[in-house]
Chains A and B, each alone.
Chain A
Amino acid sequence: GQQVMQIPQYQHVQEGEDFTTYCNSSTTLSNIQWYKQRPGGHPVFLIQLVKSGEVKKQKRLTFQFGEAKKNSSLHITATQTTDVGTYFCAGPSRGKLIFGQGTTLQVKP
């Protein structure tokens, strides 16, 4: 079945440094979604990308969808302590939403 892989699994950064997480699917995706889960919380939808090569920005967050629609990335510029949490990508497969394992971001003040 379809697999969605995310790397790295963990990332520790100093506040102010940049952060990137990568997501790769074993199959072409019709769209990809990104969610953030704060420690002790639940996943919260961040964004959806649909078009090949699409780039979307939300303040310090930049999301990209690969040309082949099999990979995606989330880049955070100048991390802040409020960015702490686990970032998940998710892609649809036969009516199900398949989540990557997530990248847990720790930010040292």
Chain B
Amino acid sequence: KAGVTQTPRYLIKTRGQQVTLSCSPISGHRSVSWYQQTPGQGLQFLFEYFSETQRNKGNFPGRFSGRQFSNSRSEMNVSTLELGDSALYLCASRTYQANEQFFGPGTRLTVL
């Protein structure tokens, strides 16, 4: 089985812009979660989607949003980018019955 894929792998944006990140889960996995990883804050949960519905949400401002499509692919959007949004954004998929998360390689976002 192919693993979780994320595009793009690297992104450079300027403050105030918006960005959309994409995640394709492992075939058959209907749950997709997004995490933000920074040196200072570690791995922080953003949100989880299952069957196109947001099931859980972390403590992030409304500038962070996401969605999931009928084929389980997911996108994450960040609007009005701030310098502090620079991070590695990781997507993880799982079957809803299991807890094990399979992470993608991440998108490295740099905000200048």
Judge whether A45 and B56 touch: CB under 8 Å. no
Judge whether B56 and A94 touch: CB under 8 Å. yes
Given contacts A41-B105, A102-B43, 11 further A-B contacts (CB under 8 A): A33-B101, A43-B90, A43-B92, A45-B100, A92-B99, A95-B56, A96-B48, A97-B33, A97-B45, A97-B99, A100-B42
Judge whether B90 and A33 touch: CB under 8 Å. no
- The 10 listed contacts between A and B (C-beta, < 8 Å) are A33-B99, A35-B103, A42-B103, A42-B104, A43-B43, A45-B100, A96-B56, A97-B99, A98-B45, A101-B42
* Any A CB within 8 A of the CB of B15: no
CB distance from A49 to the nearest CB of B (A): 11
* Any A CB within 8 A of the CB of B55: yes
Judge whether B105 and A88 touch: CB under 8 Å. no
Q: How far is the CA of A107 from the CA of B85 in the complex (A)?
A: 32
Judge whether B103 and A43 touch: CB under 8 Å. yes
Q: How far is the CA of A100 from the CA of B33 in the complex (A)?
A: 17
Judge whether A99 and B43 touch: CB under 8 Å. yes
Residues of B within 8 A of A (CB): 33, 35, 42-45, 48, 55-56, 58-59, 90, 92, 99-106
Question: Which 3 pairs, one residue from A and one from B, show the smallest C-beta to C-beta distance?
Answer: A95-B56, A99-B43, A42-B103
Residue of A nearest to B4 (CB): A42
- List the A side residues contacting B35 at CB < 8 Å: 99
- List the A side residues contacting B59 at CB < 8 Å: 1
CB distance from B80 to the nearest CB of A (A): 24
* Any B CB within 8 A of the CB of A20: no
Judge whether A45 and B102 touch: CB under 8 Å. yes
Judge whether B101 and A97 touch: CB under 8 Å. yes
Which A30-56 residues have C-beta < 8 A from chain B?
A: 31, 33, 35, 41-45, 48
Out of B44, B90, B99, B104, name the residue touching A48 (CB < 8 Å).
B99
